[in-house]
Amino acid sequence: GRTGTRVPSLCLGTMTFGLQADEPTSLAILDRAFEAGLDFLDTADVYCLSDEDLGHNERLMATALSTWNGPRSEVLLATKGGMTRPDGRWDRNGRPDHLRRACDRSLKALGVDRIDLYQFHAPDPQVPFTESVGMLAELQGAGKIRWVGLSNVSVDQINAARRHVEVVTVQNRLNPWFREALEQGVVEHCERLGIGFLAYSPVGGGRLNKKLPAHPAVK
């Protein structure tokens, strides 16, 4: 985006930490990422097995950073709020009071006073979108968030959010099989507005990445 802050073109997404990778493996991956100069990490409060373990991955970030010898200020942490994990499901909750509590939990789990990039994880069809975004603006005004991002949004939702808060990033799915971020104009819109775009699941996730070498674009 237009923050003046430069990040690597690759961001380490940590969704599988705690779901597929155990804690020692996850911490080893984080250590190797830091050694390689990959200082942009993306996580979420719901990257865990259930609501009983909310913040699992965020706590891993804090543990890894506590043992790293490099300067903490050079690592940009991005997390998200707006979903829940009841009984392992992925449910949406964009209520302002939920987002406030989620942000406070993330601050504690990450061990920081302010979150670098806080992203609204997904619009909740049960809650007016602008009410959810309005809470992010309030959290930013309170100094708990440095930058605001959106995830899983459309062009119209980006425009609606920008009437309430500066949107620095948009994180939508984009890979060789799922190209809706391109086809529906989200990437082009972000480029036009100077909003950073984060492509999640860039190699297709666990089910599709094994097929990547055979994809025509990769060939």
Question: Catalytic residue positions?
Answer: 47
**Cα dihedral sign for 97, 102, 107, 111?**
positive
Identity of residue 52: E
Q: What's the rounded Cα separation, in Å, for the pair 143 and 146?
A: 7
Position of tokens 């619009």?
A: 123
Identify the residue whose tokens are 């200020």.
73
* Rounded distance between C-alpha atoms, residue 175 and residue 166, angstroms: 27
